[in-house]
Amino acid sequence: MPIHPAGVHAPDSALVTRAAGGDERALGELYDRFGGMAFSLACAIVGEHADAEEVVADAFAQVWRSAAGFDPGRGSVTAWIATIVRTRALDLVRARKRRARVLEDAAVVTDEGETLVIAPTLESADRGAELTEARALVQRSLAELPPPQRRVIELAYFGGLSQSEIAERLSEPLGTVKTRMRAGMEKLRQALRPLMEAGA
């Protein structure tokens, strides 16, 4: 089940190509598809909505400027945009030295594995259905990881911590953190394979 079946919508990568040629409507459509994901991710990392708005605006400006450099062979548009948003969000967090607060407040899944409340999204209705399905699988897969594995992945992805910093924070040996991170990512790869683009 690819997230974006060809024939139903213009492929994501085609939108990026059009944006690279200066087509503003393509940028608008990219925002319609990925703006909700981008803003949610930015909020999870930076905490405050006003900061998240800056992050997402900067990120889409970068998408617009660097669209010509997007290489579909190196990953999906989802992953590309998520990487840009996350990098910008972590830059902001580091710059403002609010790392500690963010880590306390923005934990995405609790250690007890509580399910998350899924709020309505701004994606257009048909796209929303696909994304909601994808989102549910990602959240379920993450929730089903052994909590220690999930924790190190969350600290790295949403907290921007290195393996050494995670080891220090959790008072665990570095080798243990490395093993958990690898094992957790491997399980996620298996669980999320239906969402990954064929051949990539």
106-125 residues in contact with other proteins (CB under 8 A) are 108-109, 116-122
Q: Assess 129 for contact with other proteins (CB under 8 A).
A: no
**Shortest distance, CB of residue 148 to other proteins, whole angstroms?**
15
Structure tokens at 37: 């994901």
Number of residues that bind other proteins (CB under 8 A): 90
CB 67 to other proteins: min, Å: 7
Which of 77-88 are b and which e, b meaning 16 or more Cβ less than 10 Å from the residue's Cβ? bbebbbebbbeb
Answer for the pair 59, 46: CB distance below 8 angstroms, yes or no: no
Q: Is 7 in the site for other proteins (CB under 8 A)?
A: no
Interaction between residue 102 and other proteins (CB under 8 A): no
Q: Does 51 bind other proteins (CB under 8 A)?
A: no
Token readout for 86 is 């996350």
User: Cα-atom radius of gyration of the chain, to the nearest Å?
Assistant: 17
Side chain identity at residue 66, one-letter code: S
Query: Between residue 144 and residue 183, which ones bind other proteins under the rule CB under 8 A?
Result: 153, 156-158, 160-164, 166, 178, 181-182
Token output for 167: 């080891």
- Residue 6 three-state SS: strand
Smallest gap, in angstroms, from Cβ of residue 42 to other proteins?
A: 8
By CB under 8 A, name the one of 15, 27, 46, 102 that touches other proteins: 27
Task: Kindly tell me which residue out of 2, 9, 10, 91 binds other proteins, with binding defined by CB under 8 A.
Answer: 91
Shorter beta-carbon distance to other proteins: residue 8 or 118:
118
Task: For the beta carbon of residue 106, count every other beta carbon within 10 angstroms.
Answer: 16
Of residues 28 and 148, the one with the C-beta less far from other proteins: 28
Chain centroid, CA 99 distance in Å: 18
